[in-house]
Structure 1
Amino acid sequence: MSDLGTWASEATKKRGWSYRELARRAGISHSLISKVFSDDMPPSADFCIKIASALSESPEKVLRLAGILPSSPASDNDTLQELIELARNLPPEDQKELLDYARFRYQKRKG
């Protein structure tokens, strides 16, 4: 199973969904999901974007997992990657507040 398939399996289990439910929410066929996640067919960008939307994830993350976009340096650290994705979806004033907090924590650790 590909990185995308493994991730999708975990994401659907976490939500209590089957692949059929994911297919319904993404507006794609169950057979297409089965083919892509079992590596019988490569995922298209459109497929990835629909899966991302159904799972409320960033399209960039899913496109990277599918190998359509190159992996980012932060993808080696899941926590950092999630923080970046969450920050991108915050309004600018909340992004600044998050940055101020991160700087505070960094300075506190530095001593």
Structure 2
Amino acid sequence: MFSNDRNIGIVGRLIEMFRHYIGLQNEYLRLDVIEKVVRLITGLLIFSVLFLFIVIILIYLSFAAAYAMGPHIGYPGAFCIVAAVYIIIFLLLFLFRKTWIEKPLIRFITGLLMEK
């Protein structure tokens, strides 16, 4: 049954099409990984730039708040109040780090890597 040339040619074309299919799947997988890595790097870069801007804005606002309170309660007290606010923010971030930072970050990364 497999001895005639027509069947051998069909089996040869089937094997060649299967090889081509495997090659396309391999290339698709590489492109998918590259896309996800690029999206992850882009997200990290955007987050870094926004974080830097927010930090700079907070520094200027802190100095403005301290200098605005300075004539009323004294400059050392004003700067201590601003520092106390930052300590409270730090403690809140430390206490709620899992719900505010870790879980959203894990959701973002798994959503990015697991999407089809």
Report the TM-score, using the length of structure 1 for normalisation: 0.30
> Of the two, which has the highest radius of gyration?
2
- Greater helix share, 1 or 2? 2
